[in-house]
Structure 1
């Protein structure tokens, strides 16, 4: 029997915590293990509970979702601990970049449909990243604006040429089947490459790998990327 995905819902509005918790509880493969009303409570909850996914509001009192995410990732390490799925009212939230840089795996709008919510949690739990196209464009724009000149923040010298090629395609938005088709290899081979490059980068998912691709200079914001 498959182990259920353990989830926490973090939001300062009780109606949202209850609503998301009730929806998630309808799924046989989900367990809502706890809720929190602010980022500080979320950090404590993640220390006390074995969680797989945390739905985290961006704006909260006491400690906001970005700083809470940063502390949770620091506590658990870059490749362990729960995946963080940020909740926001707007898909162009001004804090997108900061949240992803802190270690979040993706964003989800609060007015999401039930099925989209379920799919998002399953994607995040399986190690995937979740970025809507508008969020991706925002992220790239922020990289272009914030990235300082000089030496890259991340080195890819420890990746093989094939792993670098796969990373470039991931950053271009291609799925595993699309990468397999592009490279004329099997899906399983792509999965192996992705797993190895994530391990070498210390990245917990594809979203964090994309950030590494930009910070290393492998992908240049604003440049044209052949798909």
Structure 2
């Protein structure tokens, strides 16, 4: 099927909650002058298997099938689809991973329907689009979350599995000494302190990293 022409948009939505698909479908039907076709799917695989080709895809950031948001965005962008992250998740890290992978906007599920339509149209026009000030902050504010290095994240993820701090080094790949692990956590604490978020121990560091969304992958 060919793509839509003119100003009307074929809108795809990938979300594994029926209530979201029904809700966005209702918004699409209420805006026939803007939305030419509504293409719902419960997964990226399902959407890509549909013969209908959307112009813009609203992609849920946290799908229950375990797919990574960045991988999903890349798959859609490779098909020349415009992707807008559609989420109730206000953790900045997953959102920014999706943006770095090629998403062209962020729409929050809590924002009004008219802002969703505006976001879809802006993204299709080539702009980076957001549905609200909060969406803009989540996408762009560098003071909202700490930037952690890969080895620091590796140590945090191992800690999250229940491995004691003193044993983390031997589980890392390649293994490191306990003193090196201590250095990682000192750096993590420093990065959060720079944001005004005090981290007094490794478990507080883990809590802050989880709150930012660092440990999803």
Interval containing the TM-score (normalised by the shorter chain): 0.5 to 0.7
Contact 2:16 2:42 in 1 (8 A): yes
Figure out how many residues of one structure are paired with residues of the other and give that number.
141
Structure 2 counterpart SS, 1:145: coil
- Give the Å deviation of 1:144: 7.8
Shift of 1:124: 0.9
Q: Is 1:121 the equivalent of 2:124?
A: no
Question: 2: CA distance between counterparts of 1:115 and 1:147?
Answer: 39
Q: Unpaired runs of 5+ in structure 1? A: 149-227
**Could you tell me how far apart the structure 2 residues matched to 1:92 and 1:130 are?**
18
Determine the structure 2 residue equivalent to 1:106: 105
Partner of 1:31: 36
Q: 1:135 aligns to what? A: 138
Q: Does the 8 Å CA contact 1:55/1:85 hold for their aligned counterparts?
A: yes
Q: How does 1:207-218 map to 2 (within 5 A)?
A: none
Change (3 A) 1:89 1:143: closer
In the TM superposition, residue 107 of structure 1 has moved relative to its aligned partner by: 1.0
Deviation at 1:3, TM superposition (A): 4.6
Q: Any idea what the Cα deviations from partners look like across 1:140-185, whole Å, max 9, x if unmatched?
A: 358982689xxxxxxxxxxxxxxxxxxxxxxxxxxxxxxxxxxxxx
Change over 3 Å in CA distance of 1:118–1:98 after alignment to 2: same
Question: What TM-score does the superposition give when structure 1 sets the normalisation length?
Answer: 0.54
RMSD: 2.7
Q: Secondary structure at the match of 2:147?
A: helix
Q: Which has the higher contact order (CA 8 A, sep 6+)?
A: 1
Q: Which runs of 4+ in 1 moved over 6 A?
A: none
* Gap runs ≥5 in structure 2: 151-217
* Per-residue Cα deviation, 1:198-217 (whole angstroms, up to 9, x for no partner): xxxxxxxxxxxxxxxxxxxx
Q: 2:168 — aligned with what?
A: none
Q: Distance in 1 between matches of 2:129 and 2:47?
A: 21
Cα contact 1:39–1:60 (8 A) shared by 2: no
Is the counterpart of residue 61 in structure 1 residue 78 in structure 2?
Answer: no
In 2, the alpha carbon distance for the partners of 1:67 and 1:115 equals 29
Deviates more, 1:92-101 or 1:129-138: 129-138
Q: Alpha carbons of 1:146 and 1:83: their partners in 2 closer, same or farther (altered >3 Å)?
A: farther
Largest Rg, 1 or 2: 2
